[in-house]
C-alpha cells in the first residue's frame, strides 16, 4: 500500500494509530486468502473476532507517498482465540513496525464462544484441540 497524505502528521510521518488500521487490513486479507470472509462468518455463523489485545513496536518511520508492505501470519490459535503477527516494511525492506493482535471468538452477545469446526483448518487449529476440549 502507499502512504496517503491523510495518514501522516504535520512532519509527513505516518501517525502511529494508522499502523493498527493497516494491521486490520492485513488480517482481513490474510483471512480472505484462506477462504474466510469476516462478513460471512458473522452473518452465517454468528461469530465475531473481538480484539482483546494489540501490541505495536515502532522501529522506524514511514513517510508520505512511501510504499509499505504489510506481512500477516497466524502466531497462535485455538477454538476460543487467535493471535496474528504483523510486520510492516518499506518497499526496500526497512522494518517500520512489528506487532500482534489477540482476538477472542465471540457470539453476537459479545460473550466468548467456540469457533465452529468448519473454520479450524483455516485458522490452523488441529485435532488435538477437539480431543482436549480447548
Active site residue 109: no
Nearest Cα residue to 19 out of 54, 53, 48: 54
Neighbouring CB atoms inside 10 A of 124's CB total: 14
Active-site residue identified among 9, 45, 65, 109: 9
Instruction: Give the chain's end-to-end CA distance (angstroms, integer).
Output: 37
- Helix (H/G/I), strand (E/B), else coil: 132: helix
Q: CA 68 from chain center: how many Å?
A: 16
Cell of 52: 482483546
- The catalytic residues are 9
Amino acid at each position: 500500500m502507499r502512504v496517503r497524505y491523510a495518514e501522516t502528521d504535520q512532519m509527513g510521518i505516518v501517525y502511529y494509530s494508522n499502523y493498527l488500521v493497516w494491521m486490520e487490513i492485513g488480517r482481513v486479507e490474510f483471512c480472505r486468502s484462506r477462504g474466510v470472509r469476516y462478513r460471512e462468518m458473522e452473518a452465517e455463523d454468528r461469530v465475531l473476532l473481538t480484539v482483546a489485545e494489540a501490541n505495536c513496536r515502532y522501529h522506524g518511520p514511514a513517510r508520505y507517498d512511501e510504499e509499505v508492505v504489510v506481512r500477516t501470519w497466524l502466531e497462535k490459535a485455538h477454538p476460543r482465540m487467535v493471535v496474528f503477527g504483523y510486520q510492516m516494511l518499506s518497499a526496500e525492506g526497512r522494518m517500520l513496525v512489528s506487532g500482534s493482535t489477540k482476538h477472542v471468538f465471540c457470539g453476537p452477545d459479545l460473550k466468548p464462544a467456540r469457533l465452529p469446526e468448519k473454520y479450524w483448518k483455516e485458522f490452523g487449529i488441529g485435532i488435538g484441540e477437539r480431543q482436549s476440549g480447548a
